[in-house]
């Protein structure tokens, strides 16, 4: 089986592996889980999404917002996804109105480890989907995400339960098989990309957000151990005082 680079995988195989059939259903469930706390009555005026990929997550956002800054280190797929959503060609770092609303979306090429272009306390909500396990310096990333979030704001993070037993079994009967049909070693790709395990992330989150309200919620059973979960969503409310 062929081993692929990250760029090759996301350009040529990601859609085929992750968006179809039962795997696509579970990917949709992760997006829904990340948003399950917030309904149409919630409001976050300015939102930052990091590692947004092909512009998949925004379709699951139900709460009110005025500006949605959508970012990734790979900008072309994101531009394509947002252009499709808006029905027009978009350019980076220009705010575009979302049809039939008073809201806007802005696409930008941003490294989740370096948010220096954004000032302190500048977003009401920060969203990080399938991202944190991919980063070389996750603690630095968490510190940056906290810095740009307003006091009283919300940070939402998706974390694979890596390398939990249920997750490993699920891969064997799903993405690994689909990757094999496509001629690629999907497991090799996953464990090259996922650079840190769940317990390390949990401890980093606990340290960085020690003054904040932090809640971990597992899937498919909310209170179950990470070892018997597919993922956990971390919802953090930043302290009003710091």
The owner of tokens 């760029």 is: 7
Give the distance from CA 235 to its chain's centroid. Answer: 12
Residues of the chain by 3-state class (helix, strand, coil), percent to 5:
40, 25, 35
pLDDT at 157 (0 to 100): 98
8 A C-beta contact, residue 236 and residue 154: yes
**Terminus-to-terminus CA distance in the chain, angstroms?**
51
**Alpha carbon distance 138, 131 (integer Å):** 9
Give pLDDT tens digits along the chain (242 positions).
788 888 889 889 999 999 889 999 999 999 999 999 999 999 999 999 999 999 999 999 999 999 999 999 999 999 999 999 999 999 999 999 999 999 999 999 999 999 999 999 999 999 999 999 999 999 999 999 999 999 999 999 999 999 999 999 999 999 999 999 999 999 888 998 999 999 999 999 999 999 999 999 999 999 889 999 999 999 999 998 76
Q: pTM for the complete prediction?
A: 0.96
pLDDT at 3 (0 to 100): 81
Edge-to-edge strand ranges of the sheet holding 149-160? 95-97, 104-109, 67-72, 46-50, 123-130, 149-160, 231-237, 213-219
């Amino acid at each position: 089986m062929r081993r692929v680079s990250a760029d090759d995988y996301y350009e040529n195989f990601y859609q085929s592996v992750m968006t179809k059939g039962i795997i696509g259903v579970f990917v949709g469930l992760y997006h829904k889980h990340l948003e399950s706390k917030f309904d149409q009555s919630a409001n976050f005026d300015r939102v930052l999404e990091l590692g947004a990929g092909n512009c998949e997550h925004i379709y699951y956002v139900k709460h009110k917002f005025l500006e949605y800054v959508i970012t990734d280190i790979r900008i072309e797929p994101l531009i394509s996804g947002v252009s499709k959503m808006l029905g027009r060609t978009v350019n980076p770092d220009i705010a575009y109105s979302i049809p039939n609303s008073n809201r806007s979306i802005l696409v930008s090429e941003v490294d989740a480890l370096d948010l220096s272009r954004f000032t302190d306390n500048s977003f009401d909500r920060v969203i990080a989907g399938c991202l944190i396990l991919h980063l070389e310096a996750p603690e630095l990333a968490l510190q940056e995400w906290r810095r740009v979030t307003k006091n009283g704001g919300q940070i939402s993070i998706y974390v694979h339960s890596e390398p939990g037993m249920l997750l490993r079994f699920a891969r064997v009967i799903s993405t690994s098989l689909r990757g094999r049909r496509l001629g690629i070693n999907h497991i090799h790709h996953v464990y090259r990309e996922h650079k840190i395990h769940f317990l390390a992330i949990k401890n980093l989150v606990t340290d960085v957000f020690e003054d904040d309200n932090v809640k971990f919620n597992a899937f498919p059973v909310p209170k179950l151990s990470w070892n018997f979960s597919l993922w956990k969503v971390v919802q953090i409310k930043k302290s009003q005082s710091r």
